[in-house]
Amino acid sequence: MSKIAVLTSGGLDSSILLADLSKTSRTHPIYVRSGLRWENEELKALHNFIDSIGNSQISDIVVLSLDAQSIYGHTHWSVKGAVPNYDAPDQDVYLPGRNIILIGLATVWASLNNVDTIFLGSLKGNPFTDATDEFIKNYTDVLNSGLKNEIAIKAPYREKNKVELIQEFQHLPLDKTMTCIQPINMIHCNSCNKCKERRQAFEDAGIQDTTKYKRKAI
């Protein structure tokens, strides 16, 4: 039987993908620690989500590490200081080379552990250059050439948006997932770009959002 892995952040999209694939395959969730401000909360959320599903097909979380602070700098918003606000454009939350790092580390791990396919939760409309079909294909070729392997990298939700995912998988414990870039004690801040994206998606899906958000000041 083939072994697969899912790059998962504990966020909505990748957590749904993990649950979806694990219905039919033994699945290894991969989480990459980079020293960014939200990681402790994300990892807790991922554990909580997996525990809530209770699917024995999901293996223990594989945690890989790379110090991204040395790349982005210790004063970057992803590490400290003010994060892009509620109405900030998506471009403001872009981390250059993020998928290059995540996919690269996951593929090296997969090559050492006989995993033949890595899945990503990338969605339709993702505006960043390292999430396009062309990039994924080209990067897959480069990685397999360097590793002398034949690992497939797939993004099966590239034709779906977040609203469609929420509607299709509303039966899952979506409130256990973490989208926020400055969460505190497993509560979404309700003041960053990613919280707005999450709230809007639930509203557009017509599904009750039971996520825990910090109340806005009156």
CATH number where 85 lies: 3.40.50.620
Is residue 42, in this structure, part of any structural domain at all? yes
169, two tokens: 């998988």
Please give the tally of structural domains in the chain: 1
pTM: 0.93
Is residue 89, in this structure, part of any structural domain at all? yes
- Best CA proximity match to 183, nearest among 9, 7, 39, 34: 39
- Best CA proximity match to 29, nearest among 87, 98, 104, 110: 110
Is residue 202, in this structure, part of any structural domain at all? no
For the chain, where are the alpha helices, taking DSSP H only? 12-21, 39-53, 69-72, 98-112, 133-147, 162-168, 193-205
The angle at the Cα of 181, spanning 118 to 51, to the nearest 5 degrees, equals: 55
Q: How confident is the model at residue 125, as a pLDDT?
A: 83
* Number of C-beta neighbours around residue 178 at 10 A: 27
DSSP letter at 82 equals P
Is residue 189, in this structure, part of any structural domain at all? no
Half-sphere exposure of 50 (CA within 13 A, CB side): 25
Q: Are 73 and 34 in contact (CB under 8 A)?
A: no
Is residue 103, in this structure, part of any structural domain at all? yes
CA distance 62 to 45: 15
Is residue 75, in this structure, part of any structural domain at all? yes
152 φ, ψ (degrees, to nearest 5): -90, 140
Is residue 212, in this structure, part of any structural domain at all? no
Q: How confident is the model at residue 218, as a pLDDT?
A: 38
Q: How confident is the model at residue 216, as a pLDDT?
A: 66
Q: How confident is the model at residue 127, as a pLDDT?
A: 80
Is residue 122, in this structure, part of any structural domain at all? yes
- Best CA proximity match to 188, nearest among 213, 211, 217, 216: 213
Q: How confident is the model at residue 95, as a pLDDT?
A: 92
pLDDT along the chain (218 residues), means of 10: 89 97 95 96 97 96 94 93 92 92 97 96 88 94 96 95 97 97 95 96 97 76
Q: Show the domain range for 16.
A: 4-161
